[in-house]
C-alpha cells in the first residue's frame, strides 16, 4: 500500500514538473520571461535569445551576450525604462552593444542618447531605431565592413553618423525625419566608406552615378521619375535597383553582383550595354528589354560617368 502511494506521489511530482516546464518553455518562446534585469525571448531551434525589455535602474548599460547557455543576438525593445517612464531622466541613456549582437531594434526610446558598438564588430545585420528623439550618437567602429539594414526615423538630434573608412556595404538604407539626412540635402552626391553612395540629390529624370562609386544603397534608386540612368563599371552592388518601364539604363561591361536576386532588382525599362557584356546575358536570362550600345552612346555614357562632379566625401 505504501509502495503504491509512493509511486503515485512520484508520478504526480513528475507530472507537475512536466507541466511547469511546458508552461515556462511556452512562455519563454512566445511572451518572454524575466531573468534578472532583462526580459528574454528564446529560440530553441537556433539556441539563441533576444532581449525584449529592461527593468533595471542603470542609465548606462552594456548588453549581455549569453543567458543560460543561449547566445544573445538581438535586442528588440520598446519599454518604459527606455522611454523614461514618467521622466526622460529615469530611462536608459547609453547602450554599449557587444560584437556578438548584430540586430538592434529599438523604438520609442525618448531617453536614449548614445549607442556604441564594440570595437571588433565586423558585420551588423540590422540597426533599426524608431522615434528616439533624443538620440545624438551612433558610434560605429572602424572594424565594421557591412551594415545590411540601417533604418532611422524621427531622430531630429542625430546630427552626424561617422561611417568606417573601409565599409564596403550598406544595403537597405531608410531615413525619415533625421537631422543627419537633412544636413546633406544640398549635397548632390554624398559618399562614405569605400565608395558607398549614401545620398543623391541631383536631377531626378537623368541620374548619373559617378565613376568610382562601388555601392548604391536602396534609397538612391527608388524614384520612379527617372528617365535615363547611367551606371559606371565601378559599381559592384546596387540594392533595390528599380527601373520603371519608360526608363533607359546604361551599363558598361561590369557585373553587379546582386542583380540575380529578384527581390533586389526590378528592371522594367530598357537596358543598354555593350555587345557580349554581362548585362546582355543577364537580360536574355531574365527576359529584360535590351539593345546593344552604340559607339555614340558609349562615348556619352563614359563622358557623363567620368565627368560627374559636386561629390562630397565624408571627412
- What is the reported pLDDT for 110? 85
Query: Would you state the cell numbers that stand for residue 126, as one nine-digit string?
Result: 540590422
Considering only 54-68, 108-122, 193-207, 222-236, which range has the smallest mean pLDDT? Answer: 222-236
- What is the reported pLDDT for 112? 92
- Is residue 130 pLDDT above 50, yes or no? yes
- Is residue 57 pLDDT above 50, yes or no? yes
146 — pLDDT class (breaks 50, 70, 90): very high
Question: What tens digit of pLDDT does each residue of 199-246 get?
Answer: 999 999 999 999 999 999 876 666 678 999 999 999 998 877 778 889
Q: Which residues, listed in sequence order, are joined to residue 145 by a DSSP beta bridge? A: none
Q: How would you classify the pairing of strands 196-200 and 169-178?
A: unpaired
Nearest CA-CA partner of 43 in 53, 59, 32:
32
Give the mean model confidence (pLDDT) for residues 77-106: 77
**CATH code matching the domain that covers 27-183, chosen among 2.40.50, 3.40.1420, 2.60.40, 3.80.10:** 3.80.10
- Is residue 46 pLDDT above 60, yes or no? yes
Radius of gyration of the chain (CA): 26
258 — pLDDT class (breaks 50, 70, 90): confident
User: For the chain, what are the domain ranges?
Assistant: 27-183, 190-309
Q: What does the alpha-carbon distance between residue 50 and residue 69 come to, in Å, rounded to a whole number?
A: 13
- Residue carrying the nine cell digits 557591412: 146
Question: What tens digit of pLDDT does each residue of 154-205 get?
Answer: 999 999 999 999 999 998 888 889 999 999 999 999 999 999 999 999 999 9
- What is the reported pLDDT for 20? 34
- What is the reported pLDDT for 7? 40
Cβ count within 10 A of residue 201: 14
CB 143 within 8 A of CB 166: no
Q: Which residues, listed in sequence order, are joined to residue 104 by a DSSP beta bridge? A: 75, 127
- Is residue 11 pLDDT above 50, yes or no? no
- What is the reported pLDDT for 150? 92
Query: Is 0.85 surpassed by the pTM of this model?
Result: no
In the chain, % of residues over pLDDT 90: 65
HSE-CB at 195 with a 13 A cutoff on CA atoms is: 15
Q: How would you classify the pairing of strands 146-155 and 169-178?
A: parallel
- Is residue 262 pLDDT above 60, yes or no? no
CB 114 within 8 A of CB 96: no
- What is the reported pLDDT for 16? 33
Give the mean model confidence (pLDDT) for residues 74-90: 64
- What is the reported pLDDT for 265? 66
- What is the reported pLDDT for 21? 36
CB 74 within 8 A of CB 101: yes
In whole numbers, what is the pLDDT of the chain averaged over residues? 85
Give the mean model confidence (pLDDT) for residues 137-146: 97
Amino acid at each position: 500500500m505504501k509502495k503504491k502511494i509512493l509511486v503515485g506521489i512520484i508520478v504526480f511530482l513528475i507530472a507537475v514538473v512536466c507541466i511547469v516546464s511546458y508552461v515556462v518553455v511556452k512562455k519563454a518562446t512566445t511572451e518572454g520571461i524575466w531573468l534578472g534585469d532583462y526580459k528574454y525571448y528564446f529560440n530553441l531551434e537556433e539556441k539563441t535569445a533576444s532581449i525584449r525589455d529592461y527593468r533595471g535602474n542603470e542609465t548606462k548599460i552594456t548588453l549581455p551576450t549569453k543567458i543560460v547557455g543561449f547566445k544573445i543576438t538581438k535586442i528588440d525593445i520598446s519599454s518604459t525604462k527606455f522611454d523614461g517612464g514618467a521622466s526622460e531622466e529615469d530611462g536608459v541613456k547609453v547602450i554599449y552593444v557587444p560584437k556578438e549582437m548584430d540586430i538592434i531594434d529599438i523604438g520609442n526610446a525618448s531617453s536614449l542618447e548614445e549607442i556604441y558598438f564594440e570595437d571588433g564588430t565586423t558585420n551588423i545585420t540590422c540597426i533599426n531605431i524608431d522615434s528616439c528623439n533624443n538620440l545624438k550618437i551612433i558610434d560605429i567602429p572602424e572594424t565594421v565592413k557591412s551594415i545590411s539594414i540601417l533604418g532611422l526615423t524621427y531622430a531630429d538630434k542625430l546630427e552626424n553618423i561617422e561611417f568606417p573608412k573601409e565599409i564596403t556595404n550598406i544595403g537597405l538604407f531608410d531615413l525619415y525625419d533625421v537631422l543627419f539626412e537633412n544636413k546633406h540635402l544640398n549635397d548632390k552626391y554624398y559618399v562614405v566608406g569605400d565608395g558607398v553612395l549614401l545620398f543623391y540629390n541631383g536631377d531626378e529624370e537623368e541620374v548619373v552615378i559617378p565613376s568610382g562609386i562601388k555601392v548604391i544603397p536602396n534609397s538612391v534608386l527608388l524614384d520612379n521619375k527617372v528617365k535615363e540612368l547611367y551606371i559606371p563599371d565601378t559599381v559592384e552592388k546596387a540594392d533595390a535597383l528599380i527601373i520603371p518601364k519608360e526608363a533607359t539604363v546604361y551599363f558598361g561591361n561590369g557585373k553587379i553582383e546582386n542583380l540575380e536576386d529578384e527581390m533586389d532588382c526590378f528592371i522594367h525599362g530598357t537596358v543598354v550595354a555593350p555587345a557580349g557584356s554581362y548585362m546582355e546575358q543577364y537580360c536574355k536570362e531574365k527576359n529584360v528589354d535590351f539593345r546593344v550600345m552604340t559607339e555614340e552612346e558609349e562615348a556619352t555614357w563614359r563622358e557623363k560617368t567620368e565627368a560627374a562632379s559636386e561629390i562630397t566625401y565624408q571627412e
